[in-house]
Chains A and B, each alone.
Chain A
Amino acid sequence: MSRPPFPSGRAGGVPAYLVARCGLLLLGLLGLTAPAAFSQPSSPPKARPTVAAPAKGRTTVTYAKGFTIAYTGRCKVITILSPFEQKTTATRYLLVPRGTPRPAGYPDAHVIAIPIRSLVGLSSMHVALASFLGAEDVVVGLGNLQYASAPKVRQRIAEGKIYAVGQGKELNNEQLVARHPDLVMATGWPGENLTRFQTLAAAGVPVMINSEWVESTPLARAEWVKVLAVLLNKEDLVNQKFGQVAREYQRLAALGQKASPRPRVVVGMPFKDVWHVPDADSYMAQFLRDAGTTYAWNQSKAPQGSLALSFETVAPVALTADYWLHLSSTATKAEVLTQDARYAAFAPFQSGRLYNNNRRTNAEGSNDYWESGAVRPDLVLADLLRILHPGLLPAGALHYYQQLK
């Protein structure tokens, strides 16, 4: 499922995330956990200092605030926090090794037998999680077969090994119950919660809701790959691969934050009167900060994750900006003009500094930026640095972005 850059409707009024973490894990002691709940400040989070390498077969959550992972005996516990409600609610999943009985404790937890062998993903992000871990074989169902970019997943679709289950409210429950996948991964939206999946829950099909796009930094968003890794017993792989991505991202971010001059950017495209721009707490704004830009709405916070502004509020910024990024689905300057002839007056249009993130859009209309880009923030940031600070990085082709000609 392709999603808009800044999904509207991020939760209002969550004052701070309650994050339960396991303190003793790092000591590598056998199964002793001491969950400690503490609240995080709601200011734009900085990357936490790198922690000591986790024990073999285990992983820890460093950046993400929307989920926690705990190890208890032979089982694991994933806690997903819903950011969409006034009172943040947590859904617990007890991961039990396949073939072993459910242990006592966690009476409310949903039980999942691990490693999972079949996964139904309702978002292209979930395809990205699987392909990041080289676990495309696990994917047996998708919300919409059209929205997948990963070559191995596309091949599996062509071979008829993946079925479509519909999306949102039109989930094909009968098919899901009949095929009984080990896990259904859904995307979190405001006003939606697990009650929507009651039928599946009653049939014993576990459903997990990811709200990864609510995370306020790109690395935090990408770290959701650890959820799937834990489900697949691929902790060592994810520690290594995600660690690489995180280190590379931070290296690039350090370059970007020091870069000068800091070009002024305008992002997105309006529809009629309304121009949605990312708010200060969105992961997109963090991308722009890390890419060393001057972003006009860097201080503006909105409960929805994006600001709905009028055309004339954004126009003065766009008129004099250095770069214009994320131009909807356009691929040429001519297409930009067919949207609205007034765009010709914007400085980035005249200087030709228009860059859209749809270089990797396939014939089916699926844009890989929304898929693999979600777990490769390092590649996205490298693109942004190449665009915004020519000469800062060694020459190379853009990965997700293209200049509109």
Chain B
Amino acid sequence: MPVPAAGAGRNITWLLVLALLVGLGFVLDIALGSVSIPLPAVVRILLRQPIDTPAWEFIVREIRLPKALTALAVGSGLAVSGLQMQTLFRNPLAGPSVLGLTAGAGLGVAAVMLASGSAAGSLAIRALGVGGSWGLVLAATTGAALVMGLVLALSGRVRDNVVLLIVGMMIASVTGAIVSLWQYFSAPEQIQEYLLWTFGSLGGVTGSHLAVLASVVTVGLVLAFASAKSLNALLLGENYARSMGLVVGRSRTLIILSTSLLAGSITAFCGPIGFVGIAVPHLTRALLRTADHRLLLPASCLAGAALTLGCDCIAQLPGSQATLPLSVVTSLLGAPVVLWVVLRRQNIRSSFS
């Protein structure tokens, strides 16, 4: 889609504003927390200058910095994945969870957390060291990957994206039902642990986890940016895209692979984080008033990161000793924003045709 020449400068401004917001959110997220640390001390710690309170150093370097970096990866990854899904399915309601990936990851996690009811399960789980770590990530990744494999295999046979959309939702439905069944037959404390996971959290991602998450998200984002042109073409419908010379099957596989990597890895490490994926693409489309993915992709990246950082600041409840589940904050904050955007420009369908 051609970009109106007059809008170019405006769009650059928006991108800069969003980048600024990300920077601000990043600093705020590191500065705020349940333990109050003066800003100069935070800056000194970040600049690796000596400071006489080792606990502050630990909090900033080992807790808040990894968390803020995770927020960056989660926000940009989920937003881009949501944007790709909405365009691929030409459906404003599509999001990262739509292919059943989140549900698949949830099934994997449920399998380790709830299966400990049986003797074999509990032994295997203790060997894996499950509780908040690699075992959990492995399970979630396996779940998401199984669903992704299924969707990819089906996408080769199913030509219609609407059918694919329905397939994804049905997979989500089935996996959700299996998890419910599992919960029904599990002890309350196991269910509680699983419930905590479903709330989503950035706090468990540190060190080698962060390295893996960041690399997978980077690969996913690179694939997504590479598919910007195909996404633009797909926006006009598959037949039109085909007539423009696009190999629809191949680009569709690329897009599904990219979104699966993004949503699957993020869900595996952080649990299902609601709303960023659906809300941010709408926000950016409304802000930039364009349908060009060469602009929308970087803008969604930035907006997603900024929103997630902001939500994490709120989830920290500065001054309180507790934290709120991130997923709750993103939904509480995200839904009204999307409503506002959608109600302001009621012709949202125009973005998809």
Interface of A with B (CB < 8 Å)?
Answer: 1-4, 7-8, 144, 146, 167-170, 189, 269-274, 307-313, 315-316, 319-320, 328-331, 335, 338-342, 345, 363-365
Contact = CB atoms under 8 A, between A and B. Distances in A.
A330 B206 CA distance: 19
Interface in B90-143: 116-119, 122-123, 126, 129, 131-135
B38 interface: no
Contact of B323 (A4, A310, A328, A342): A310
Interface stretch (B79-87, B152-160, B183-191, B217-225): B183-191
Interface of B: 33-35, 54-55, 58-59, 62-64, 116-119, 122-123, 126, 129, 131-135, 184-185, 187-189, 192-193, 196-197, 201-204, 206-208, 271, 316, 321-323
A273 B55 contact: no
Contacts of A331: 126
11 contacts: A4-B189, A146-B119, A271-B193, A272-B132, A272-B197, A309-B34, A310-B321, A311-B63, A316-B35, A330-B129, A342-B63
In the A-B complex, list the 5 residue pairs whose CB atoms are closest, starting with the nearest.
A273-B203, A316-B55, A272-B201, A338-B129, A365-B122
Nearest to A189: B188
A144 B123 contact: no
Given A271-B193, A310-B33, A315 B323 contact: no
A167 B188 CA distance: 9
Contacts of A4: 189, 192
Contacts of B187: 1, 144, 167-168
A86 to B, nearest CB: 22
Given A146-B119, A271-B193, A338-B134, A307 B321 contact: yes
A84 B88 CA distance: 51
Contacts of B131: 269, 271, 328-330, 339
Which residue of A3, A272, A331 has the most chain B CB atoms within 10 A of its CB atom?
A: A272
Contact of B207 (A170, A270, A308, A341): A341
Contacts of B62: 315, 342, 345
Contacts of A312: 33-35, 59, 63-64
Given A273-B203, A340-B133, A313 B34 contact: yes
B140 to A, nearest CB: 13
The secondary-structure label for the interface of chain B is helix
B132 A340 contact: yes
B29 to A, nearest CB: 12
Contact of B201 (A273, A309, A315): A273
Nearest to A365: B122
Nearest to A8: B192
A339 B137 CA distance: 11
Contact of B196 (A170, A274, A340, A363): A274
A316 B58 contact: yes
A3 B233 CA distance: 56
Nearest to A342: B62
Given A272-B197, A363-B119, 13 more contacts: A7-B189, A168-B187, A270-B132, A312-B33, A312-B59, A313-B35, A315-B58, A319-B58, A320-B55, A338-B129, A338-B133, A341-B208, A363-B123
A351 to B, nearest CB: 15
A271 B132 contact: yes
A189 B191 CA distance: 14
Contacts of B203: 270, 272-273, 310-311
Contacts of A335: 129
Contact of A315 (B59, B129, B134, B207): B59
Contact of B321 (A144, A146, A313): A313
B59 A339 contact: no
A377 B206 CA distance: 38
Of the listed residues A307, A319, A320, A365, the one surrounded by the most CB atoms of chain B closer than 10 A to its CB is A365
Nearest to B205: A272
Contacts of B134: 338
